[in-house]
């Protein structure tokens, strides 16, 4: 009987040790559904020259107790907050990606702009990459580079043409004399 008790005791200790090791090394993956600011673009409204930011946010698994409740915009220091409900100012029920407009007013300098979004359950996102406003579009930048490249060439060509014309007239007047 003593041996049977020792064997059972040894098995109990072995099982207890195995369960302790499993409990210590077992990991459970936790998924937080933090919103992400996937883009901030700026454009100028022609009617009043206001700079408008379009802040694109991705946040999935919407339900009435899980949505983005505010967006913050950092404009070179001062932080503005856009308060939201589940459907205002953008309908979060329609898609996991939505765009929030923000009116910066008339911009006279070039502030750096960043944005972040907050989920009522999982907290705020990281700040987006800084964007300098106003930002030149690729087409505008290309046009400026073309003008800066072509202008000196045209000026040089015009100058050479003038020199040739002056040289030809002086050569012709020397021949008549």
In a structure prediction context, what are the per-residue pLDDT tens digits for the chain, which is 177 residues long? 556 556 777 777 777 777 667 766 665 555 568 999 999 999 999 999 999 999 999 998 888 888 999 999 999 989 999 999 766 778 888 889 999 999 999 988 889 999 999 999 999 999 999 988 875 555 555 666 777 787 777 777 777 777 777 776 766 666 665
Q: What is the pLDDT of residue 94?
A: 84
Q: What is the pLDDT of residue 8?
A: 72
Q: What is the pLDDT of residue 140?
A: 57
- Strands, E, within the chain: which ranges? 36-44, 51-58, 68-75, 79-83, 97-105, 112-119, 123-124, 131-132
Q: Is the pTM of this model over 0.75?
A: no
Q: What is the pLDDT of residue 176?
A: 60
- Strands, E, within 61-176: which ranges? 68-75, 79-83, 97-105, 112-119, 123-124, 131-132
12 by Cβ neighbours in 10 Å (0-12 / 13-18 / 19+) ranks as exposed
Name all domains of the chain by residue range, CATH numbers in brackets: 36-132 (2.60.40.730)
118 three-state secondary structure: strand
Phi, psi of 124 (to 5 degrees): -80, 155
């Amino acid at each position: 009987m003593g041996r049977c008790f020792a064997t059972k005791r040894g098995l109990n200790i072995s099982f207890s040790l195995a369960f302790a090791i499993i409990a210590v090394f077992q990991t459970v993956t936790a998924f937080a559904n933090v919103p992400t600011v996937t883009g901030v673009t700026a454009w100028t409204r022609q009617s009043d020259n206001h700079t408008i930011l379009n802040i694109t946010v991705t946040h999935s698994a919407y339900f009435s107790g899980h949505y983005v409740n505010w967006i913050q915009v950092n404009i070179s220091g001062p932080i503005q907050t856009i308060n939201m409900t589940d459907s205002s100012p953008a309908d979060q029920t329609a898609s996991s990606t939505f765009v929030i407009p923000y009116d910066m007013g008339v911009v006279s300098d070039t502030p750096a702009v960043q944005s972040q979004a907050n989920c009522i359950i999982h907290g705020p996102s990281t700040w987006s990459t800084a964007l300098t406003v106003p930002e030149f579009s690729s087409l505008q930048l290309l046009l400026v580079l073309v003008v800066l490249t072509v202008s000196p060439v045209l000026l040089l060509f015009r100058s050479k043409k003038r020199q040739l014309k002056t040289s030809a007239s002086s050569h012709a007047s020397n021949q008549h004399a």
